[in-house]
């Protein structure tokens, strides 16, 4: 679907994302980080990720999310920008069909809240 339109632009973006300060993540305007943490607990992101603020479980398959807010790229290959992250959280395979991160049952508003929380995780 949208991936056909998005992918070339994202690829160019990812390739040019060699840490220009202007591309660093910034807080998600409409997101509520506290609500995001509650949603993260509810939908079970921690089954696959170790996430600061979530005591249990500490899943390993998706890697830890500590420090994610300070990373220039999502999964090492997509620009870490709020709109891309929101799409990643809802339907990661739409951005990268090969990814092992499954689509998650989030509305766009919920994904914005989750993204806002992830952007508070800027320390390892």
Q: Which residues sit at the interface with ligand HEC, rule CB under 6 A? A: 40, 43-45, 47-49, 61-63, 65, 68, 71, 74-75, 89, 99-102, 104, 114, 118
Nearer to ligand HEC among residue 9 and residue 102 (C-beta)? 102
Nearer to ligand HEC among residue 28 and residue 74 (C-beta)? 74
Cβ 59 to ligand HEC, closest distance in Å? Answer: 7
Cβ 55 to ligand HEC, closest distance in Å? Answer: 16
User: CB-based burial of residue 101 (10 Å sphere; 0-12 exposed, 13-18 middle, 19+ buried)?
Assistant: buried
Cβ 1 to ligand HEC, closest distance in Å? Answer: 19
User: Is the Cβ–Cβ distance between 120 and 70 less than 8 Å?
Assistant: no
Closest among 62, 65, 67, 74 to 23, alpha carbons compared: 74
Cβ 12 to ligand HEC, closest distance in Å? Answer: 19
Q: How far apart are CA 25 and CA 85, in angstroms?
A: 10
């Amino acid at each position: 679907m949208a991936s056909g339109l998005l992918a070339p632009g994202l690829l160019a973006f990812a390739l040019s994302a060699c840490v220009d300060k202007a591309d660093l993540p910034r807080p998600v305007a409409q997101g509520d980080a506290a609500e995001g943490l509650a949603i993260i607990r509810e939908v079970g992101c921690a089954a696959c990720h170790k996430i600061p603020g979530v005591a249990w479980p500490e899943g390993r398959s998706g890697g830890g999310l500590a420090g994610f807010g300070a990373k220039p790229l999502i999964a090492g290959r997509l620009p870490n920008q709020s709109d891309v992250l929101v799409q990643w959280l809802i339907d990661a395979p739409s951005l990268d069909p090969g990814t092992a991160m499954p689509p998650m049952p989030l509305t766009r508003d919920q994904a914005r809240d989750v993204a806002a929380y992830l952007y508070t995780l800027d320390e390892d």
